[in-house]
C-alpha cells in the first residue's frame, strides 16, 4: 500500500496559501524592531550603550526561554496558558531544592516540569480537550501549588548557590542567562528543522486531518511539544531565580502575554503551520524593546499588559488562517 508523506502537496499548498495571505514572519518583524530601536534611541541616545544593551539581554532572557518553548505548541495550532504559572512554581521549588541538593535539585525541577508538560499534552490529545482549556486548568493548579509550597511568601536562595548563580556571569560580555536562552533556541531550532517531529508540527498545524491520515503520531507529537514548554518554563525559572535570588508564587506572573506576543510578532501564526523558532528571537527582542521603550517614554507600567494584549490581537488578526477556524485545538 502506498503511504502519503506528512509533507503532502495538500499540506504544502495550505502552508503556502497561509503565507501568501500575509506572512509577517518575513522582513516586517525585523523592520519593526529597527524602527522601535530608532524611536527609543531618539528619546534616549544612551540606549545603544553597552550597559543598556546588557539590560535588554537580561530582561529578554526569561521571555526568550518561554517563547522558544511556546513556538512548537503554537505551530501545532495550540496554546499553553500555564507556562508563567509553572515558571513561578518552579522558582519556589528551585530555591528549596537547590539549597538542599545543589545541581541535582535543579535537574530534578527541570525533569518534573518537563513531565508536567508532557502530562498536559497527553490529556489534551487523549481527552480531546482544547489546549487553552487544559492549560487554563493547569494554570490554576500550578498557582495553587505555588502558594501552598511557599506559604504565599518569597523564599530566598542560599547565597552563592553555584547551581544557579552562574546566571549572573557574562560570556564575551553577554549576560549568561541570555546566552543560555540562545543555546536553547538553537537546539530547539535544529530539532524542528531536522527531526521528523519538526515536520509533524508543521503538518499537523497546516492540515491536521490529512497529517493523521498520513500516520503522524498525534499523541507523541503533542506530548513532546508540551513537554518542551514545561522544560523551558523551568529554565526560565532558573534565570529568574538567579537574577532575583528568591522564588515566589508570582515571580513570572507578568511574562505570559510578552512570551505569547513574542511568538506571534515574530511571525508564527496562532492558527498553526506557519512560522519558526528563529523568528521568535526577533519577536522576543521586539517585545523587550517595547517594554523598555515604554519605560523610557514614561508610559505607566500598569498599561504594559494592555499594550501586549493589543499587540497579540493585531498579530493574530494578521497571521491567522481563517480556513481553519472550524477546527478546535
Residues 6+ apart with CB under 8 A from 89: 142, 143, 145, 146, 149, 249
Q: What is the pLDDT of residue 18?
A: 44
Q: What is the pLDDT of residue 185?
A: 98
* Distance of alpha carbon 312 from alpha carbon 300, whole angstroms: 19
CA dihedral 207, 211, 212, 216 (to 10 degrees): -140
Q: Determine if residue 299 is left, alpha or beta; phi over 0 gives left, psi from -120 to 50 gives alpha, anything else beta.
A: beta
Tell me the CA distances in angstroms from 235 to 10, 64, 86, 211, 283, one per residue in order. Answer: 37, 10, 11, 31, 19
Check whether 66 has a pLDDT greater than 60.
Answer: yes
CATH code, residues 25-41+50-321? 1.10.3470
Q: What is the pLDDT of residue 36?
A: 84
Query: What are the backbone angles phi and psi of residue 242, rounded to the nearest 5°?
Result: -60, -35
Whole-structure pTM over 0.75, yes or no?
yes
Over the stretch 161-191, which tens digit does the pLDDT of each residue have? 788 989 999 998 999 999 999 999 999 999 9
Check whether 312 has a pLDDT greater than 50.
Answer: yes
Over the stretch 91-146, which tens digit does the pLDDT of each residue have? 999 999 988 888 999 999 999 999 999 999 999 999 999 999 999 999 999 999 99
Over the stretch 241-258, which tens digit does the pLDDT of each residue have? 999 999 999 999 999 999
Candidates 184, 187, 271, 197; CA nearest to 232 is 184
Distance of CA 300 to the CA centre of its chain: 25
pLDDT grade for 259, boundaries at 50, 70 and 90: very high
- H helices of 9-130, in order, are 9-22, 28-43, 50-75, 83-101, 103-126
pLDDT grade for 299, boundaries at 50, 70 and 90: confident
Amino acid at each position: 500500500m502506498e503511504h502519503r508523506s506528512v509533507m503532502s502537496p495538500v499540506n504544502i499548498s495550505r502552508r503556502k496559501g497561509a503565507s501568501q495571505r500575509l506572512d509577517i514572519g518575513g522582513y516586517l518583524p525585523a523592520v519593526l524592531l529597527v524602527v522601535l530601536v530608532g524611536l527609543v534611541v531618539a528619546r534616549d541616545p544612551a540606549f545603544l550603550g553597552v550597559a543598556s544593551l546588557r539590560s535588554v539581554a537580561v530582561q529578554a532572557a526569561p521571555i526568550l526561554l518561554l517563547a522558544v518553548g511556546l513556538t512548537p505548541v503554537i505551530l501545532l495550532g495550540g496554546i499553553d496558558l500555564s507556562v508563567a504559572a509553572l515558571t513561578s512554581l518552579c522558582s519556589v521549588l528551585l530555591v528549596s531544592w537547590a539549597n538542599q541538593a545543589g545541581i541535582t535539585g535543579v535537574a530534578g525541577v527541570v525533569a518534573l516540569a518537563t513531565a508536567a508538560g508532557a502530562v498536559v499534552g497527553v490529556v489534551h490529545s487523549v481527552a480531546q480537550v482544547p489546549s487553552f482549556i487544559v492549560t487554563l486548568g493547569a494554570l490554576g493548579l500550578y498557582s495553587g501549588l505555588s502558594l501552598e509550597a511557599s506559604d504565599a511568601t518569597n523564599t530566598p536562595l542560599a547565597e552563592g548557590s553555584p547551581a544557579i548563580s552562574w546566571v549572573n556571569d557574562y560570556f564575551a560580555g553577554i549576560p549568561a542567562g541570555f546566552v543560555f536562552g540562545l543555546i536553547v533556541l538553537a537546539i530547539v531550532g535544529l530539532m524542528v528543522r531536522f527531526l521528523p517531529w519538526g515536520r509533524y508540527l508543521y503538518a499537523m498545524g497546516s492540515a491536521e486531518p490529512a497529517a493523521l491520515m498520513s500516520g503522524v503520531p498525534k499523541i507523541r507529537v503533542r506530548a513532546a511539544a508540551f513537554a518542551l514548554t514545561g522544560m523551558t518554563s523551568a529554565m526560565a525559572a532558573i534565570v529568574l531565580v538567579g537574577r532575583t535570588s528568591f522564588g515566589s508564587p508570582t515571580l513570572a506572573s507578568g511574562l505570559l502575554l510578552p512570551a505569547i506576543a513574542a511568538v506571534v510578532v515574530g511571525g508564527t501564526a496562532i492558527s498553526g503551520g506557519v512560522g519558526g523558532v528563529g523568528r521568535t528571537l526577533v519577536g522576543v527582542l521586539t517585545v523587550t524593546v517595547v517594554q523598555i521603550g515604554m519605560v523610557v517614554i514614561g508610559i505607566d507600567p500598569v498599561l504594559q499588559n494592555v499594550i501586549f494584549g493589543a499587540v497579540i490581537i493585531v498579530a493574530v488578526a494578521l497571521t491567522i488562517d481563517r480556513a481553519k477556524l472550524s477546527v478546535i485545538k
